[in-house]
């Protein structure tokens, strides 16, 4: 039984619905720009505003991106249709959302979590986004009790894909992994920038609990989760809330709940007493979308290597653990091919991984620094010609200049790795200067080593290799 952090005997069941905005130039059904952050109501056209007489025409690139998502999630791409989902809301310009209903484009896929858990993907369908309401007055911009709202339709009609998982997620950590992995895939296939903070990726969680082996419990849908961290916290909170209700003899009401970041709780948003009747029917202004095998195969053939395979490759190349943070971060930034280049230029891939993870956050997938220069730096380090601290300084200069010969830079700074016999001398001086710390360290207090190393590094004016100092100290204590 996996540890889900819940009281003994309780199982957590979570399904995730993720909406992603597609990286197209224009809207799903019209030619106004799909662009975040513009002045309100500047990206509008008759279709976006739902003007009388306007008609939708499907964006081919949006379809291709949706197919990329489906194929990357191992879905079957099939003939599909669009429906109207009818409801009144001021940011829904036509009073219906065009969405794929009973015949979605992508069905029956799955996503493998880095740990090897398989999460089924029920469907990944296309639909249009709504505009944006901002509430004014009342209690600080909340919907309830506001005085009025202002509507911006720039986002209306932006193409979305909604990815609906099976309720296969069993822990909050798996939910976090799912969203992280999904985001990595979406970015890798170029379908979306998938930024939760900007709303281009939005995640709802259907949470229920049950005793192991029991029927599925009643679920609540959790909305307004704005980061992967909050997703985990919201699921954990909601699961405990439901268990508390059930253990005190209550029942769970099926409802939509709102995650409140400030108090760390979920709150009832809308009880489904008067269940919404969306009066779905086939959108008569659109025709069937049925990509033929040739089109599907063309899209499949153009898919890049996906993050999971890239992580495996990078782990093999660098010798790092496949599920390590460094591997995940570097693959997510798309810098794994760069590390391959460093290796091909004769560099040390393991050291390159460390530097790229630590210092290349701003560099993107094509760093300014030529791979051969980083290769040269990792060779100096591996051969003991530079300490890690010195290498970091040299790398800083190289990044600033956009390249350079690390040996020459090191020489100009007077860097050379100190001989072990010289370091032994500094160690002697250091122990003499810190007799108490030495005694504690010898008594097995590992923390005391910090003070010793610090003193010794200071005495060597930073030229001693920290790793060598540590090794000598350990050797002396044990010896």
Partner 1 sequence: MSERLSAADVAKVARMARLNISAADVERYTQQLDGMLDHFADIDNLQLADVQPMTQPFPLVNVLRADVEQPCLDREEVLNAAPAAEQGRFRVPPSGGEDE
Partner 2 sequence: MSNFSTATSIAHNVASGAQSAASVVEEHLQRISQREEEVHAFNLVTSAEARERAADLDARIARGENVGPLAGVPIALKDNMCTRGIPTTCSSKILEGWKPPYNATVVDKLFAADAVFVGKTNLDEFAMGSSTENSAFGPTRNPLDTSRVPGGSSGGSAAAVAAGFAAVSLGSDTGGSIRQPAALCGVVGVKPTYGLVSRYGLVAFASSLDQIGPFSHSVADAALLTEVIAGHDPMDSTSIPKPAPSLVSVLGRGVEGMRIGRVADLPEGADADVLARLDAAFIALEKAGATIVDVKLPSLSYALTAYYLIAPAEASSNLARYDGVRYGNRVAANDMNNMYADTRAAGFGDEVKRRIMLGTYALSAGYYDAYYGKALKVRRLISNDFAAAYANADVILTPTSPTVAFPFGAKTDDPLTMYLCDIFTIPTNLAGHPAMSVPFGTGQANMPVGVQILAPTLGEEAMFKVAAVLESAA
Please report, as ranges, the residues that interact with Mg ion according to CB under 5 A: 17
Query: By C-beta, is 128 or 381 nearer to Zn ion?
Result: 128
Q: Which does 150 bind (CB under 5 to 8 A by kind): Zn ion, Mg ion, partner 1, none?
A: partner 1
Query: By C-beta, is 162 or 236 nearer to Zn ion?
Result: 162
Answer yes or no whether residue 458 interacts with partner 1 by CB under 8 A: no
Interface residue with partner 1 among 46, 304, 384, 396 (CB under 8 A) is 46
Residue pair 303/68 in contact by the 8 Å Cβ criterion: yes
Residue pair 311/331 in contact by the 8 Å Cβ criterion: yes
Q: In 10 A of CB 332, how many CB atoms?
A: 17
Rounded Cα distance between 353 and 322, Å, is 12
Answer yes or no whether residue 60 interacts with partner 1 by CB under 8 A: yes
Q: Which does 147 bind (CB under 5 to 8 A by kind): partner 1, Mg ion, Zn ion, none?
A: partner 1
Query: By C-beta, is 41 or 345 nearer to partner 1?
Result: 41
Residue pair 239/209 in contact by the 8 Å Cβ criterion: yes
Answer yes or no whether residue 144 interacts with partner 1 by CB under 8 A: yes
Q: Which does 26 bind (CB under 5 to 8 A by kind): partner 1, partner 2, Zn ion, none?
A: partner 1
Residue pair 365/334 in contact by the 8 Å Cβ criterion: yes
Answer yes or no whether residue 284 interacts with partner 2 by CB under 8 A: yes
Residue 307: CA atoms inside 13 Å, Cβ hemisphere, count? Answer: 27
The DSSP code sequence of 7-31 is STTEEEEEEEEEEEE---SB-SSSS
Smallest gap, in angstroms, from Cβ of residue 210 to Zn ion? 26
Rounded Cα distance between 472 and 479, Å, is 10
SS3 461: coil
Smallest gap, in angstroms, from Cβ of residue 295 to partner 1? 9
Answer yes or no whether residue 162 interacts with Zn ion by CB under 5 A: yes
Answer yes or no whether residue 57 interacts with partner 2 by CB under 8 A: yes
Closest residue to Zn ion: CB criterion: 162
Residue pair 253/245 in contact by the 8 Å Cβ criterion: no
State how beta strands 76-77 and 106-112 pair.
Answer: antiparallel
| Strand extents, DSSP E, 81-158 | 83-86, 96-99, 106-112, 118-128, 132-136, 148-152
Q: Which does 259 bind (CB under 5 to 8 A by kind): partner 2, partner 1, Mg ion, none?
A: none
Scan for tokens 């379809």, then name that residue.
63
Answer yes or no whether residue 302 interacts with partner 1 by CB under 8 A: no
Interface residue with partner 1 among 7, 31, 304, 319 (CB under 8 A) is 31
Where along the sequence are the contacts to partner 2 (CB under 8 A)? 46, 49-58, 84, 86, 88, 90, 93-96, 151, 153, 275, 277, 279, 281, 284-287
Binding site for partner 1 (CB under 8 A): 24-26, 30-33, 39-46, 49, 57-63, 87-90, 92, 130, 133-135, 137-138, 143-153, 269-270, 277, 279, 282, 284, 286-291
């Amino acid at each position: 039984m996996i540890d889900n952090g819940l009281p003994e005997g309780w199982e957590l069941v979570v399904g995730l619905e993720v909406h992603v905005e597609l990286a197209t130039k224009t809207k799903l059904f019209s030619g106004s720009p799909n662009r975040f952050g513009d002045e309100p109501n500047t990206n509008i056209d008759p279709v976006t505003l739902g003007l009388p007489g306007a008609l939708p025409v499907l964006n081919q690139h949006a379809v291709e991106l949706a197919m990329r998502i489906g194929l990357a999630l191992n879905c079957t791409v099939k003939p599909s249709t669009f429906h109207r989902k009818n409801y009144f809301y001021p940011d829904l310009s036509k009073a219906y959302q065009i969405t794929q209903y009973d015949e979605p484009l992508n069905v029956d896929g799955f996503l493998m979590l880095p740990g090897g858990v398989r999460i089924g993907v029920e469907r990944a369908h296309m639909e249009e986004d709504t505009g944006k309401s901002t509430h004014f007055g009342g209690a600080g911009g909340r919907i309830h009790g506001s005085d009025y709202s202002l509507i911006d339709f720039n986002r209306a009609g932006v193409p979305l894909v909604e990815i609906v998982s099976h309720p296969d997620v069993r822990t909050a950590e798996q939910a976090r992994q799912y969203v992280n992995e999904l985001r990595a895939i979406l970015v890798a296939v170029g379908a979306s920038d998938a930024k939760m903070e900007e709303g281009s990726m939005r995640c709802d969680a259907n949470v229920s609990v049950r005793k192991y082996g029991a029927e599925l419990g009643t679920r609540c849908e959790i909305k307004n989760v704005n980061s992967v961290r909050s997703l985990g916290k919201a699921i954990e909170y909601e699961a405990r809330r439901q268990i508390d209700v059930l253990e005190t003899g209550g029942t769970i009401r099926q409802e939509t709940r709102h995650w409140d970041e400030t108090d760390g709780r979920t709150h009832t948003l809308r009880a489904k007493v008067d269940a919404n009747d969306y009066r779905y029917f086939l959108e008569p202004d659109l025709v069937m979308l049925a990509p033929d095998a040739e089109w599907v195969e063309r899209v499949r053939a153009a898919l890049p290597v996906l993050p999971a395979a890239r992580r495996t490759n990078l782990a093999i190349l660098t010798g790092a653990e496949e599920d390590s943070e460094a591997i995940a971060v570097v693959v997510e930034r798309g810098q794994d091919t760069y590390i391959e280049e460093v290796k091909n230029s004769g560099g040390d891939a393991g050291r390159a991984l460390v530097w790229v993870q630590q210092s290349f956050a701003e560099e993107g997938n094509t760093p300014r620094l030529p791979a051969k220069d980083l290769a040269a730096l990792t060779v100096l380090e591996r051969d003991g010609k530079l300490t890690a601290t010195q290498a970091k300084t040299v790398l800083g200069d190289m990044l600033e200049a956009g390249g350079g010969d690390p040996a020459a830079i090191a020489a100009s700074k007077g860097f050379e790795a100190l001989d072990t016999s010289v370091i032994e001398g500094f160690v002697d001086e250091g122990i003499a200067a810190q007799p108490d710390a030495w005694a504690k360290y010898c008594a097995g207090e590992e923390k005391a080593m910090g003070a010793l190393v610090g003193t010794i590094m200071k005495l060597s004016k930073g030229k001693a290799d920290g790793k060598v100092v540590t090794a000598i100290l350990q050797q002396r204590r044990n010896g």
